[in-house]
Amino acid sequence: MTIPNAAANAAPPEEAGQAPIRPLAASTAAAPMVAFEAVTKRFGEAGGKPGFTALDGIDFTVARGAITGIIGRSGAGKSTLIRLVNGLEKASSGRVTVDGVEVGGLSEHGLRDLRRQVGMIFQHFNLLTSRTAFDNVALPLEIAGVDKKTIRDKVTPLLDLVGLGDKAGRYPSELSGGQKQRVGIARALATSPKLLLSDEATSALDPETTQSILELLKRINAELGLTVLLITHEMEVVKEIATDVAVIDRGRIVEAGSTFDVYASPKHETTRTLLATALKLPEWLRNGLKAQPSVGDRVLVRLVFFGETAFKPLTGRLVSELGSDVNILAGGIEEIGGKPFGSLVVSYSAAPDVVERANRFYAETGLSTEVLGYVA
């Protein structure tokens, strides 16, 4: 499954076949930054034993300059997936290419070169406790053999960029979680990478700090034109910053597209489940849901407003059209990918005539709806 992005799909033909390894700089702007082609990863394969299949036939591209989110529950394979991009894990079969270069075909030396062009941030920050914020950011440059003066010229503006200009001499133990992740981000940017990998970077942070870290990532993406690939189990994170999203479940990508489309009309069960937690339906409501109605039940419907429908007074009309009481249970208006997006969970009688009138109204107005279930 490919992200529906015209630019991302227009890969030069030689990339589809067994292209020779080209220098990283020679890529064209239209080619995707990262491409997975029929990628499979198995663990613990030995002596004919099949082992555990972590990833199963992944076809997926990450568009240049975009923020792409991969969302899935824990154990879905997303950590493995992101580690294939910088070669921390090797694919069992299939091809992973970064900027046109096949990762699996690289020598140890080539792999190290690639890793200097791909920054990575981690859930638990992984900062060296024995180094100050400044020296942590300097580490990738030291590793690349950059001289002391250049390091100083590079690190100071990076610490300013992430808002820690005054914390250069502090050790990680003196910093808060959010500040540590900012150091992590500055460190990942030190070698001026073209791709940033984010491995659950906000999962260990409180909601407010998460928000500020996401803002920072968004800003970096916009200002530096850096492609970002992030994995998360939180729909909120994807909704907040990702332009594109792929949903991964048991080692397969089950749904992919622009965040807005996936959010507005989720097709796969896993996506719906992940969305349901993001929708914050009250616990008692989620637990009481039934798949089939019985007489006298009420139907629970999620109405989604976006594009044109976002600005029309449709809820009021719905009530008068139905001729039945409509109960509003949950809802809100948010912004996804810069577009307004409203969602409203309502319930009304599941009697066939009411439901029919409602469906006619939806068809007429172009309102996007999803039946969540039935309650007594």
Partner 1 sequence: MSPDMMFNLLTKALGQTLQMVVIAGLIGSLIGLPIGVFLATSGKGELFPAPAVNRVIGLIVNAARSTPFIILVVAIIPFTRLVTGTSIGTYAAIVPLTIATIPFFARLVEAAIREIDTGLIEAARAMGATPMQIVFKVLLAEARPALMAALTMTMVSLIGYSAMVGAVGGGGLGDLGIRYGYQRFMPEMMLAVVVVLIVLVQLVQSAGDLLARRFDKRNRKN
**Residues contributing to the site for partner 1 (CB under 8 A):** 86, 88, 111-116, 118, 120, 122, 124, 126, 128-131, 139-140, 142-144, 171-174, 187, 191, 197
φ and ψ of 278, to 5 deg? -70, -30
In three-state secondary structure terms, 231 is strand
Q: Which of 331, 264, 266, 329 is nearest to 298 (CA)?
A: 329
Structure token digits, residue 42:
């198995």
For the bound state, the minimum distance from the C-beta of residue 140 to partner 1, rounded and expressed in Å, comes to: 4
d(CA 180, CA 167): 11
Which residue lies nearer to partner 1 by CB, 53 or 126? Answer: 126
φ and ψ of 54, to 5 deg? -85, -35
Which residue lies nearer to partner 1 by CB, 133 or 367? Answer: 133
For the bound state, the minimum distance from the C-beta of residue 124 to partner 1, rounded and expressed in Å, comes to: 6
In three-state secondary structure terms, 176 is coil
H/E element, 239: helix 235-241
Which residue lies nearer to partner 1 by CB, 202 or 258? Answer: 202
In the chain, the amino acid numbered 332 is: G
For the bound state, the minimum distance from the C-beta of residue 86 to partner 1, rounded and expressed in Å, comes to: 6
DSSP 78-89: HHHHHHHHTTSS
For residues 244 and 49, the answer to whether their CB atoms sit within 8 Å is no
Which residue lies nearer to partner 1 by CB, 173 or 320? Answer: 173
Which residue lies nearer to partner 1 by CB, 174 or 269? Answer: 174
For residues 271 and 254, the answer to whether their CB atoms sit within 8 Å is yes
In three-state secondary structure terms, 227 is strand
Which residue lies nearer to partner 1 by CB, 30 or 139? Answer: 139
For the bound state, the minimum distance from the C-beta of residue 62 to partner 1, rounded and expressed in Å, comes to: 17
For the bound state, the minimum distance from the C-beta of residue 155 to partner 1, rounded and expressed in Å, comes to: 14
For the bound state, the minimum distance from the C-beta of residue 160 to partner 1, rounded and expressed in Å, comes to: 21
Chain centroid offset of residue 133 CA: 27
Which residue lies nearer to partner 1 by CB, 106 or 329? Answer: 106
For the bound state, the minimum distance from the C-beta of residue 345 to partner 1, rounded and expressed in Å, comes to: 40
For residues 71 and 247, the answer to whether their CB atoms sit within 8 Å is yes
